Amino acid sequence: MSECASPSWSDFRIMTINMNGPGKADDRRKLVSNIMTTVSASVIFCQEIPGKFQEEVVAKCGPIGNYQLVQTEKEAAVLWRTEDFDGDPLHTTETWISAIKDSPQREWSDVDMSEVRSRVAMVKLQTQKRADLSFLAVSWHGPHRAVKKDKKIETFRGLICFLREVCKKTKVSSCIIGGDFNLDTSKGIGDVVSKEKLFVEVYELPARYQEAKKGKDILYKDNFVFFTDPVGYITVSSVGAFKSEDFSDSIDGDQEETYRPKASNNTKGKNLLDHDPITGKLSFKPVEQTGKF
């Protein structure tokens, strides 16, 4: 796909992808690796990490450059392409989180920080071309459906408070969260978005969400959320779902049988992923956003 190529040194393709799903684990690992090859993203935010991730997914994602990663168990990981970024992984140990939490300048919500620690992976990234351009890249896997919505929102607010402190400690002014929020990012986190001055884009829903029964699926749960000071230092635009017709390299040569979003009228196909990967463009310059905030 030509749109996946980075148009300039200051624009980078990014992707967030929940890697869980039914079917054979080997097939799903091959599929995820092939999607990573096709999208050729500079930064990939991963959730629900499969087994043998590094050796069967990362190492086999094709001739698109070398990736490094930071991972928190099977919940979250961030991959970055070394040709584009230098990375300083920030491992979410209890000792490190306690040091942040004890900061006298922070305003914390009443949230269990062990919940945040177990669901987040973080890295400070710096562009190879400009040493002064850096940001915090965060992969987040929000609490699951069984958790009440108010509790999910409170945990998300705690995450944002925590990440702002991390930015202070690491001397960066911007943060991008790619994740499965398990919340409707178009309106379900509106109060936090407004209060914390966050940016989130609303994209065209994939077919399986458009056809889903009301209330059965959480809309816009896979997305990018970011904050930046000053505004315009970084932006995330051109956000959209990775569609099956864009997928050019399948496991068995039949893309319709290999990658098919779930839909109510779809009884054929392997449905190897529960989520559609979401892609976007990261820019280090002001651009016109195409979504709602």
Query: Can you give the chain as a three-state secondary structure string?
Result: CHHHCCCCCCEEEEEEEECCCCCCHHHHHHHHHHHHHHHCCCEEEEECCCCCHHHHCHHHCCCCCCEEEEEECCCEEEEEECCCEEEEEECCCHHHHHHHHCCCCCCCCCCCHHHHHHHEEEEEEEECCCCCCEEEEEEEECCCCCCCHHHHHHHHHHHHHHHHHHHHHHCCCEEEEEEECCCCCCCCCHHHHHHHCCEECCCCCCHHHHCCCCCCCCCCCEEEEEEECCCCCCEEEEEEECCHHHCCCCCCCCHHHHCCCCCCCCCCCCCCCCCCCEEEEEECCCCCCCCCC
Looking at residue 180, its pLDDT comes to 97
pLDDT by residue (tens digit) across 201-217?
899 987 777 665 555 67
Percent of the chain topping pLDDT 90: 39
Rounded Cα–Cα distance for residues 43 and 33 (Å)? 14
Looking at residue 268, its pLDDT comes to 40
Higher pLDDT, residue 251 or 24:
24
Looking at residue 121, its pLDDT comes to 96
Domains annotated for the chain, with CATH where assigned, are 2-283 (3.60.10.10)
Whole-model pTM: value is 0.85
Looking at residue 38, its pLDDT comes to 86
Q: Which two tokens stand for residue 67?
A: 């990736």
Mean pLDDT of 216-238: 88
Mean pLDDT of 209-227: 80
Looking at residue 250, its pLDDT comes to 42
Looking at residue 248, its pLDDT comes to 41
Looking at residue 76, its pLDDT comes to 96
Percent of the chain topping pLDDT 70: 74
List beta partners, residue 174: 228
Looking at residue 205, its pLDDT comes to 87
Q: Would the CA dihedral through 243, 245, 250, 254 be positive or negative?
A: positive
Amino acid at 199: F
Task: Judge if the upstream peptide bond of residue 230 is cis by omega within 30 degrees of 0.
Answer: yes
Contact yes or no for 116/139 (Cβ under 8 A): no
Whether the pLDDT of residue 281 is over 90: the answer is yes
Looking at residue 257, its pLDDT comes to 43
Whether the pLDDT of residue 93 is over 70: the answer is yes
Whether the pLDDT of residue 95 is over 50: the answer is yes
pLDDT-based confidence at 105, cuts 50/70/90? low
Whether the pLDDT of residue 18 is over 90: the answer is yes
pLDDT-based confidence at 6, cuts 50/70/90? very low
Question: Cα 43 to chain center, whole Å?
Answer: 9
Beta-carbon-side half-sphere exposure of residue 69 (alpha carbons within 13 Å) = 21
Mean predicted lDDT score pLDDT of the chain: 80
Residues sharing a CB contact under 8 Å with residue 254, sequence separation 6 or more, in sequence order? none
Whether the pLDDT of residue 140 is over 70: the answer is yes
Give residue 65's region: left, alpha or beta (phi > 0; psi -120 to 50).
left
Looking at residue 187, its pLDDT comes to 87
pLDDT by residue (tens digit) across 246-266?
544 444 444 444 454 443 333
Looking at residue 227, its pLDDT comes to 94
Looking at residue 55, its pLDDT comes to 87
